[in-house]
Amino acid sequence: MSDSGARGWRPTDTESVVRGVARGLTDALNHEMREDLTEDQVERLKERLAGSLAADASAGVRRVHHAFLDQERRHAKSLERRKRREGADGTVERLSLHLRVQHMVLFASTIILIVTGLPIKFHDASVSVFLINLMGGPEVTRIIHRIGAVGLTCVGAYHLFYSMAFEAGRRDFGLLIPRPQDIKDFFHQMGYFLGIRREKPLFGRFSYIEKFDYWAVYWGMVVMITSGYLLWFKVLAINQFGKSIYDIAVEAHSDEALLATLAIIIWHFYNVHFNPKRFPGSLTWWNGRMRVEDFKEEHALEYEEMLRSGGLEHGGQEAGVRAGVSAEARRESP
Amino acid sequence: MKTGRTRGLIRRPPGRALTLCLVLLAAFLGAMAARAQDDLRCLGCHGKPGFRKTLPSGQVLDLFVDPTPLRLSVHKDLSCVQCHADVNEVPHTTMPQRVNCKRCHYEGNTMGAPQTSKYLEFDKSVHNLALLAGNTKAPLCQDCHGGHFILSGSDPRSRVSRRHVSQTCGTCHIQIYGQYMESVHGKALTMGNKDAPVCTDCHGEHDIQGPKVASSSVNPANVANTCARCHSKIVIMKKYGINAEQVSTYKNSFHGIANEFGVLKAANCASCHTAHNILPPDDPRSSVNPKNIPKTCGRCHPGANANFAKGRIHVDPEDRSAGIVYWVALGFKILTLSTLAGLFIHIGLDLFRQVRARKSREAVLPARPTEENEP
């Protein structure tokens, strides 16, 4: 690396060095000077020229120097990230810390909302009364529910910001947009399940299953947050939008709550807990890591992409080779 | 033997039976005479119209008693002193106390009073509590059931009959009686409607309790169930074109659920419809008339505007008349069922494939148990 060279460079010296060089340069400009200048004036002009050249040059050097250092630092960081992504223990990073924290806030808020909300929907069940009283009675649970609501809103808003402002967020969002390939993958998968097709479909970073999960949550958040705030600020909502909007919000909030809860318990829990491949549960949500074999199997296309871009050595065992990957290849991979 | 005894009874001269009859008759007549004599002694003074006494406070007590109502009442066979038991000399040396009905009215009595301990319910009633607290205006049995003209509650002439009981309560609760008689319930009663609720239908009879008592039928926690006794009965409600789902829609609303979970400040039926002033929504005086709804809702939700009156309050998402809410509910029902069906099928197929893969692997490599799932 050129780091050591960069460290030996002292930009503060630039001006005096350049000044010397520029002084020599001005001598070559003698014939450009006007004849009516005295010897003394010529001397002073040369001095000034040399000074001006030196200032410009040193500013330029400093700028290029800083830009270079910046680039090198970013480089080192991305290498570091890469290194973390592919651990020596045969795992790869599937979820960044950023995403893991978003997921934790999301599920913590959702659990709070479900345990304080569903007893209201199923108020006839005796377990509902028990649960509500266990949590301190209805006047307390409505506060807890609203704390969960604020948590959910914040993580939702932050996720929108993340999907726009962060490169990783933009990239993932782009990859989550449904494509015709997802429909093909779905039918391929069905064929595989039924034994019509021999091979599994190959998935990229997000399979149609994960895309469904993501967009189900997206839809659920939009419905629940919108209707939830209409219920929270009911007088304002009815005064502004009319009672029928409020009635729709009541119904939608209640129905979508059940749909979301069932989808999480049945679908999401199957995919990350009860699937025999995962049981008793994947730890990806906690450490963000995934075994390379699983990664190869479930995200084959992303794996290939990483191989091609050099982000991952075959099998993920030889960590040292990564450093040799050319910068161009690294920059090509998103 | 059996027939002989029967024959013997028939053949026996009627002397002994006749004697028995005569003795009974004599006793009865004697009792009548004694009662008549007792009552005559009382009526000697109390039977004179205009018999009155002026108390030292200046209050005039009308002491005239018309014996006719008593003779027409369920107590027609009783003499004065059987109830006014503390009267034993004329003129009275002490002021006769109010009659204590419990002398006869208890379960297991031999005086011929109904065998019931219903009166015991009176002990925990708001009226008795007032009495114990020293309120001299608090009612005793006779204040509602009447003094001399006591009739069975099922007798339409009775003060406690469905037709008259509200009026009876109204003798003390005048203002509420006025409100009630103006309400849809009171109007129906006046029209002779037998379904119309009277005071005791909501408040109870002997065990009337104040609304703050948890077990009271008009406690905020119990109001909906009290109204539901009629308002959830399709048979009754159909007659008047009232939706019998009003109670269940309330119970499924946030108001009803909060109430059920013990938040008594949450609205119950009476919070919006009032307790005694209940009027149909098309009546401009009604608290649930569209014009008055912002004010009614505003009592708990300050700032409520005219939008609160637009559309139904009791929305039943299961019913088509709920309009768009019905369609939203139906849409979600279809969405939920189809999503779940799809997810279950997907999971089922996935498991099916995994089991098959495991079996085929075992067939190829039966000796090597492995956790790998790749086929």
Residue-wise pLDDT for B310-362, tens only, equals: 888 999 998 888 889 999 999 999 999 999 999 999 999 999 998 888 887 77
Long-range contacts of B176-184 (CB under 8 A, 24+ apart): B176/B276, B179/B276, B179/B277, B180/B276, B182/B277, B182/B279, B183/B276, B183/B277, B183/B278, B183/B279, B184/B278, B184/B279, B184/B280
pLDDT tens-digit map of A38-66: 888 888 888 888 888 888 888 888 899 89
| Range name among A307-311, B160-164, B201-205, B278-282 with the lowest pLDDT average | A307-311
How close A133 comes to chain B (CA, Å)? 8
| Region A201-229 average pLDDT | 94
Chain B positions touching A267 (Cβ under 8 A) are 343, 347
pLDDT tens digit sequence for B151-173: 988 888 999 999 999 999 999 99
Yes or no, beta carbons of A266 and B310 under 8 Å apart: no
The pLDDT value given to residue A322: 35
Q: What is the pLDDT, as a whole number, of residue A182?
A: 94
Q: Which residues pair with A291 in a beta bridge?
A: A91
- B359 in reach of chain A (CB within 8 A): no
Q: Which pLDDT belongs to residue A151?
A: 97
Nearest C-alpha in A relative to B323: A244
Which long-range contacts does A188-192 make (Cβ < 8 Å, 24+ apart)?
A190/B349, A192/B353
Residue of A nearest to B371 (CA): A277
The verdict on A137 touching B (C-beta cutoff 8 Å) is: yes
Tell which A residues from 11 to 40 touch B, by Cβ distance under 8 Å: none
Give φ, ψ of B60 to 5 degrees: -100, 125
Q: Do B307 and A239 touch (CB under 8 A)?
A: yes
pLDDT value, residue B18? 76
**Option in A137, A244, A270 nearest B324 (CB):** A244
Average pLDDT, chain A: 83
| Residue B168: predicted pLDDT | 94
**Min Cα separation A237/chain B (Å):** 10
How far B261 CA lies from chain A's nearest CA (Å)? 6
- For the cut 50, the answer to whether the pLDDT of residue B1 exceeds it is no
pLDDT band, residue A123 (cuts 50/70/90): very high
Higher pLDDT, A191 or B373: A191
CA angle (A243 as vertex; A240, A244 as ends), nearest 5: 115
Question: Distance from A195 to chain B by nearest Cα, in Å?
Answer: 7
3-class secondary structure, B164: coil
pLDDT value, residue A160? 96
Q: Which residues contact A194 (CB under 8 A, 6 or more apart)?
A: B349, B353
Name the pLDDT band for B292 (thresholds 50, 70, 90): very high
* Nearest CB to A243 within list B310, B328, B329: B310
pLDDT at B252: 93
CB contact under 8 A, B347 and A255: no
Mean pLDDT of A92-118: 93
Q: Give me the pLDDT at residue B33, please.
A: 61
CB contact under 8 A, B258 and A193: no
pLDDT over 90 (residue A291): no
- Decide if pLDDT at B5 tops 50: no
Token code pair at residue A176: 């989550």
Which region among A134-148, A262-276, B280-294 has the lowest average model confidence (pLDDT)?
Answer: A262-276
Mean pLDDT of the region A113-142: 93
Task: Find the length of chain B.
Answer: 375
Q: Which among B203, B180, B225, B227 is positioned nearest to B126, based on CA atoms?
A: B203
Q: Where are the domains of chain A?
A: 3-66, 97-112+149-332
Report residue B353 as tokens.
């494939």
Q: How far is B239 from chain A (nearest CA, A)?
A: 29
Whether B308 and chain A come into contact, CB under 8 Å, resolves to yes
Could you tell me which chain A residue has the CA closest to the CA of B248? A124
For residue B61, list its beta bridge partners.
B53
Q: How far is A176 from chain B (nearest CA, A)?
A: 20
Res. A102: pLDDT tops 80: yes
Per DSSP, the residues of A31-72 read GGS-TTS-HHHHHHHHHHHHHHHHHHHHHHHHHHHHHHHHHH
Reported as a pLDDT band with limits 50, 70 and 90, residue A79 is: confident
Mean pLDDT of chain B: 87
Nearest CB neighbour to B305, from listed A137, A239, A277: A239
Counted across chains A and B, CB pairs separated by less than 8 A come out at 105
Mean pLDDT, to the nearest integer, of A193-212?
90
Of B262, B333, B373, the CB nearest to A138: B262
What is the structure's pLDDT at A117? 95
Instruction: Determine the pLDDT at residue A82.
Output: 66
Query: Which A residues, 39 through 68, put their C-beta within 8 Å of a C-beta on chain B?
Result: none
Q: What was the pLDDT predicted at B322?
A: 87
* The pLDDT of residue A2 is above 80: no
Q: What is the pLDDT of residues B98-148, one digit of tens each?
A: 898 888 888 888 888 888 888 888 988 999 999 999 998 899 999 999 889
pLDDT at A318: 37
Q: Estimate the share of chain A in helix, then strand, then coil, as percent rounded to the nearest 5.
A: 80, 0, 20
Contacts of B340 in chain A (CB under 8 A): 262-263, 266
Q: Determine whether the interchain pair B354/A276 forms a contact, defined as Cβ–Cβ distance below 8 Å.
A: yes
Q: Could you tell me what percent of chain B has a pLDDT over 90?
A: 52
Q: Do B257 and A137 touch (CB under 8 A)?
A: no
Using pLDDT thresholds of 50, 70 and 90, give the confidence band for residue A11: low
CATH fold label, A97-112+149-332: Fumarate Reductase Cytochrome B subunit (1.20.950)
Residues of chain B in contact with residue A239, where contact means CB-CB under 8 angstroms, are 303-305, 307-308
Read off the tokens for A230: 């209409």
Are B263 and A139 inside 8 Å of each other by CB? yes
B233 or A91, higher pLDDT: B233
Q: How confident is the model at residue B11 (pLDDT cuts 50, 70, 90)?
A: low
Closest residue in chain A to residue B336, using alpha carbons only: A259
Instruction: Give B50-59 pLDDT, tens digit per residue.
Output: 888 888 888 8
The span from the CA of B190 to the CA of B188, in Å, is 5
A122 contact B CB<8A: no
Counting residues of chain A whose pLDDT is more than 70, the rounded percentage is 85
Q: Which of residues 170-199 of A touch B (CB under 8 A)?
A: 190, 192-195
Which among A215, A235, A254, A296 is the top mutation candidate for probing chain B, defined by the most B β-carbons within 10 Å of its own β-carbon? A235
Residue in B261, B308, B311 nearest the CB of A138: B261
A263 touches B at CB < 8 Å: yes
- Looking at CA atoms only, how far is residue B293 from chain A in angstroms? 12
CA distance B245 to chain A (A): 16
| Whole-number pLDDT of residue B365 | 57
Contact A120/B at CB under 8 A: yes
SS3 state at A251: helix
Is A315 part of the contact surface with chain B (CB cutoff 8 Å)?
no
pLDDT tops 80 at residue B35? no
